[in-house]
Amino acid sequence: MILLDNQQWVEKNFSACEFNHKRRTLRMKVVAKNMLARPDGSLPTQNQDWSDLKAAYRLFDRPEVTFQAVTTPHWEQTKSTKPGRYLLISDTTDISLYNHKATTGLGMLGDGKGRGIQLHNCLMYNSDEKQIVGQAGAILFYRKPVPKNEKRMARLNRRRESSLWGELVDQVGSAPDGAQWIHVFDRGGDNFEAICHIKQTGDDWVIRASKLTRKVIDRNGQTRSLKEATEEGDVLGSYDLNLRSRPGVAARTARIEVSSTSVTFPRPSQFSTWVRESGINDLSMNVVVVQEVAPPEGIKPIKWVLLTSLPTATFEQGWQVIEDYENRWLIEEYHKVLKTGCGIETHALQTAGRTEALVGLISVIGTRLFQLKLIGRNQPKALASTHVPPHWLRCMQAARPKLQGRSLTVYKFFRELAKMGGFIGRKGDGEPGWMTIWRGYRELTLLLDGMRLAEQARSKSCG
């Protein structure tokens, strides 16, 4: 993966935005560039000239500048995947704007007392290269009070949080030729309708089961609960899992057994109009069970039940399903980037509509910051000179003269970048997280600005 400098990255991701006037697109690129320079700052901090700040406020006030208009070019680039294997990891995060009392049009959060917007994201991950590709799609949702005495059929046909999983699958679409796309959902996406949406795309899925009491048809044709069906699965193998200590819980090694079976989900007795029109009456799939054997007394055993369209006949195939699901943590980290690194909850404009476009911009900027974490870690032997912008290297070597220029690897470059952000880098410290890399990146950006101003001053004096 070749890392673009900020200006190139902004051009690539925002030049195709359609706001009905090219001047608005140019302004969006200025706002994006300023946000990249200070991603955790407020709009006034990012746009320090009054003219820039005023233009930014005017931009987000335009009806043409919507969440979809800001994000669609980035989504389309992300989905134009080359042949390979990709995970499409989805989840919802609450954007709490409770403290922004003047913002109108927000929805409910939590127990109904919170105010804000729910952001349902799809993050694309190249599992061959182990790199974040970008955001493949997203939906904004505003929770409203449930109508009193609502009938079940009315609820099934009303747009609700559980329907976002299927909506986002449709928005993302199908994989291009030569690429395999695998949707990865947590238990929130375990519903018949959402899986039907994936089935229609022709793509694959790995979903953690939440309803073990649901009735399924096992591989022998018997109707029983999902829990009962998995208890008679074939054991594929076992492995040891080292668990770190937590407050009140000591570190330990758990023995994990992996088994698999196949089941068919019949269509529920009550279903939405969409499910009826889809014509899907049942869903056949494999199930991988990850279960701890003989846990210590008083300890709740580890257990995952994973629903998948992928093959699971061997331990290697079952392990691939487990690995795919374990990568679900990436979207949780991405949401932390949005909230901590980009301060998405500190921003607010006068209306929810204006805030939506700002959320769209931040959600794209967040992919840039998150990518920095994995580039160095997953390409350890690649030379920095072929993957990192030349002026970044010059600046880093000026700041740290002991670094060897020609032999400097991408891995070493990003560790040094993290050290600029507070990472100590001792043997027992492990790998740097995105936060220290981002802080180092911010320091590097300041040095780059200084180099640029010095070069401009030199050029003027020579002229």
Main-chain phi, psi angles of 281, to 5 degrees: -100, -20
pLDDT at 150 over 70: no
pLDDT at 2 over 70: no
Q: Which two tokens stand for residue 417?
A: 């970048």
pLDDT at 98 over 80: yes
Residue 454 host element (H or E): helix 434-462
Main-chain phi, psi angles of 239, to 5 degrees: -155, 165
- Residue 16 pLDDT: 95
* Residue 262 pLDDT class (50, 70, 90 cuts): very high
Measure CA 117 to chain center.
17
- Residue 54 pLDDT: 95
- Residue 450 pLDDT: 86
Length of the chain as a residue count: 463
Which residues, other chains included, contact 91 with Cβ-Cβ below 8 Å and sequence gap of 6+? Answer: 120, 121, 185, 186, 188, 328, 331, 332, 335
- Comparing CA positions, the residue from 80, 110, 78 lying closest to residue 93 is 110
- Comparing CA positions, the residue from 308, 274, 268, 265 lying closest to residue 288 is 308
- Least trusted range by pLDDT, from 5-19, 279-293, 441-455: 441-455
Helix (H, G, I), strand (E, B) or coil at 112: coil
Residue 258 host element (H or E): strand 252-266
- Residue 153 pLDDT: 57
- Least trusted range by pLDDT, from 80-89, 153-162, 232-241, 327-336: 153-162
Helix (H, G, I), strand (E, B) or coil at 405: coil
Q: Which two tokens stand for residue 38?
A: 């200070």
CA distances 302 to 81, 168, 209, 243, Å, are 35, 30, 14, 11
Tell me how many degrees the CA angle 163-168-173 measures, rounded to the nearest 5.
Answer: 135
* Residue 25 pLDDT class (50, 70, 90 cuts): very high
Return contacts of 41-49, CB within 8 angstroms, 24+ apart: 41/343, 42/343, 42/346, 42/347, 43/347
Task: Decide if 13 contacts 35 (C-beta within 8 A).
Answer: no
- The Cα 292–Cα 400 span in angstroms is 48
* Residue 161 pLDDT class (50, 70, 90 cuts): confident
CATH class as words, domain 67-338:
alpha beta
Q: What mean pLDDT is predicted for residues 312-324?
A: 96
pTM value is 0.89
Task: Decide if 182 contacts 87 (C-beta within 8 A).
Answer: yes
- Residue 40 pLDDT: 84
| pLDDT (tens digit per residue) in 363-375 | 999 998 888 777 7
- Residue 158 pLDDT: 59
Q: Which residues pair with 121 in a beta bridge?
A: 91, 138
CATH 1.10.740.10 residue ranges for the chain: 379-457
More confident residue, 357 or 156: 357
Task: Decide if 282 contacts 264 (C-beta within 8 A).
Answer: yes
- Residue 6 pLDDT: 81
- Residue 400 pLDDT: 83
pLDDT at 117 over 60: yes
pLDDT at 99 over 80: yes
- Residue 382 pLDDT: 79
* Residue 171 pLDDT class (50, 70, 90 cuts): very high
pLDDT at 406 over 60: yes
- The Cα 234–Cα 92 span in angstroms is 34
Domain topology for 379-457: Transferase Inhibitor Protein From Tn5; Chain A, domain2 (1.10.740)
| Residue-averaged pLDDT of the chain | 89
pLDDT at 381 over 70: yes
Task: Decide if 380 contacts 133 (C-beta within 8 A).
Answer: no
Which residues, other chains included, contact 178 with Cβ-Cβ below 8 Å and sequence gap of 6+? Answer: 82, 83, 84
- The Cα 125–Cα 88 span in angstroms is 7
Main-chain phi, psi angles of 201, to 5 degrees: -75, -20
- Residue 55 pLDDT: 94
More confident residue, 202 or 295: 202
Main-chain phi, psi angles of 433, to 5 degrees: -90, 175
More confident residue, 41 or 159: 41
Longest dimension (CA), the chain: 86
| pLDDT (tens digit per residue) in 31-54 | 999 998 888 888 999 998 999 999
* Residue 27 pLDDT class (50, 70, 90 cuts): very high
Q: Which two tokens stand for residue 152?
A: 């079940």
- Residue 159 pLDDT: 59
Q: Which two tokens stand for residue 233?
A: 């699965």
Task: Decide if 393 contacts 385 (C-beta within 8 A).
Answer: yes
- Residue 270 pLDDT: 84
- The Cα 111–Cα 185 span in angstroms is 24
The top-scoring range by mean pLDDT among 95-104, 154-163, 430-439 is 95-104
